[in-house]
């Protein structure tokens, strides 16, 4: 796969918003929430539809962000819709460990999944798939995953069949992964932006693309469980025709 050139100015712009390179041991991983949105707050044209929003410059930034995290997390809806690679395509950069939240065991991947193709080629890592305790794991699929260096991680779920975010972060920490870049999709982002879960978010980096996707898209708009969620310490960085918003959630 062709690699993306890293503009020399990019790292300095984003370093203040990324996991510190050396820090005292922490009780949970550093969490960066990052995604690309349209002007009408959509992530994609419809659930299950892969939709390109980032232009080339902000896409390179996303790959740089991937290189700066130990892990990258998506929901199974994104795994099913996008068949993502979840690696870093900047030459010489380390790829993060993909984590897929799949509480009901819906992800029926084969070894043709892009993330596994990349792992086989040494261009990425195989995923850790977090499944709910009640899921009957297909042994063939478990073997495929483990052959590539991935695995299933079994987790408890709440009455709605969800994982608690504190449990997700504790499991990531147990795997020795000190940081996580949460990339989407809609359910994952909205469940993390609501209070009190948003206390777990250390940094927010949003690419805003100059387009309206129209009604019917997968929208970022968290359930209102407290005060409006506002960013502070904000920086706006134009990248190509997009603008990238960085900040921290105001406590």
Ligand X SMILES: Nc1nc(=O)c(N)c(NC[C@H](O)[C@H](O)[C@H](O)COP(=O)(O)O)[nH]1
Ligand Y SMILES: NC(=O)c1ccc[n+]([C@@H]2O[C@H](COP(=O)([O-])OP(=O)(O)OC[C@H]3O[C@@H](n4cnc5c(N)ncnc54)[C@H](O)[C@@H]3O)[C@@H](O)[C@H]2O)c1
Judged by the rule CB under 6 A, the positions of this chain that interact with ligand Y are 35-36, 43-44, 47-51, 53, 74-78, 81-82, 101, 103-104, 162-163, 183-188, 191, 218
Measured from the CB of residue 225, what is the shortest distance to ligand X in angstroms?
Answer: 25
Cα dihedral sign, 233-29-160-184: positive
Selection from ligand X, ligand Y, none that 62 binds (CB < 5 to 8 A by kind) is: ligand X
Six-digit token string for 93:
């950069």
The least distance separating ligand X from the CB of residue 139, rounded to whole angstroms, comes to 27
CA atoms within 13 A on the CB side of 162: 9
Pairwise CA distance, residues 70 & 95, whole Å: 8
User: Which residues contact residue 153 at a Cβ distance below 8 angstroms, ignoring those fewer than 6 apart?
Assistant: 128, 129, 130, 131, 171, 175
Length, in residues, of the chain: 251
Nearer to ligand X, 53 or 193 (CB): 53
Nearer to ligand Y, 171 or 218 (CB): 218
Pick between residue 85 and residue 150 the one whose CB is nearest to ligand X. Answer: 85
The site partner of 162 among ligand X, ligand Y, none (C-beta below 5 to 8 Å per kind) is ligand Y
Tokens of 35: 């995604």
Q: Kindly tell me which of 21 and 174 has the beta carbon lying closer to ligand Y.
A: 174
Q: Which of 31, 57, 76, 86 binds ligand X (CB under 6 A)?
A: 86
Residue 184 found at the interface with ligand X (CB under 6 A) = yes
**What is the Cα–Cα distance from 66 to 107, expressed in whole angstroms?**
22
| Residues 95-114 as x/- pattern, contact with ligand X by CB under 6 A | -------------------x
Minimum Å gap between C-beta 242 and ligand X is 9
Q: CA-to-CA distance for 209 and 37, rounded, in angstroms?
A: 6
Q: Is the dihedral of CA 59, 236, 216, 250 positive or negative?
A: positive
Q: Which is nearer to ligand X, 195 or 235 (CB)?
A: 235
Identity of the residue, 137 or 143, whose beta carbon is nearer to ligand Y in the bound complex: 137
Beta-carbon contacts of 98 under 8 Å, excluding residues fewer than 6 positions away, are 71, 72, 73, 74, 86, 115, 124, 125, 126, 127, 128, 150
Beta carbon of residue 229, minimum distance to ligand Y (angstroms, whole number): 16
Site for ligand X in 54-83 (CB under 6 A): 54, 62, 74, 78, 82
Structure tokens at 236: 């706006």
Question: Which of positions 140-179 make contact with ligand X (CB under 6 A)?
Answer: none
Of 82 and 202, CB closest to ligand Y = 82
Q: Cα 19 to chain center, whole Å?
A: 14
Tokens standing for residue 239? 């990248």
Which residues in this chain contact ligand X in the complex, by CB under 6 A? 36, 51-54, 62, 74, 78, 82, 84-86, 114, 183-184, 207
């Amino acid at each position: 796969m062709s690699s993306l050139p890293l503009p020399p100015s990019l790292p300095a712009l984003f370093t203040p918003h990324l996991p510190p390179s050396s820090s005292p041991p922490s009780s949970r991983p550093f969490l960066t929430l990052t995604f690309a949105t349209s002007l009408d707050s959509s992530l994609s044209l419809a659930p299950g539809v892969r939709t390109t929003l980032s232009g080339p410059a902000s896409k390179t930034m996303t790959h740089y962000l991937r290189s700066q995290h130990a892990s990258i997390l998506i929901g199974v809806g994104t795994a099913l819709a996008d068949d993502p690679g979840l690696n870093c395509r900047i030459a010489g950069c380390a790829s993060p460990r993909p984590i897929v939240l799949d509480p009901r065991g819906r992800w029926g991947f084969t070894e043709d999944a892009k993330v596994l193709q990349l792992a086989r080629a040494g261009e990425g890592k195989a995923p850790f798939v977090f499944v709910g305790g009640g899921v009957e794991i297909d042994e063939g699929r478990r073997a495929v995953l483990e052959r590539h260096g991935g695995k299933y991680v079994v987790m408890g779920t709440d009455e709605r069949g969800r994982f608690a975010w504190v449990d997700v972060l504790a499991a990531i920490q147990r795997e020795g992964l000190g940081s996580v870049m949460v990339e989407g999709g809609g359910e994952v982002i909205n469940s993390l932006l609501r209070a009190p879960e948003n206390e777990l978010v250390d940094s927010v980096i949003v690419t805003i693309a100059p387009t309206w996707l129209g009604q019917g898209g997968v929208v970022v708009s968290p359930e209102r469980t407290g005060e409006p969620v506002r960013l502070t310490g904000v920086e706006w960085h134009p990248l190509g025709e997009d603008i990238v918003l960085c900040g921290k959630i105001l406590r």
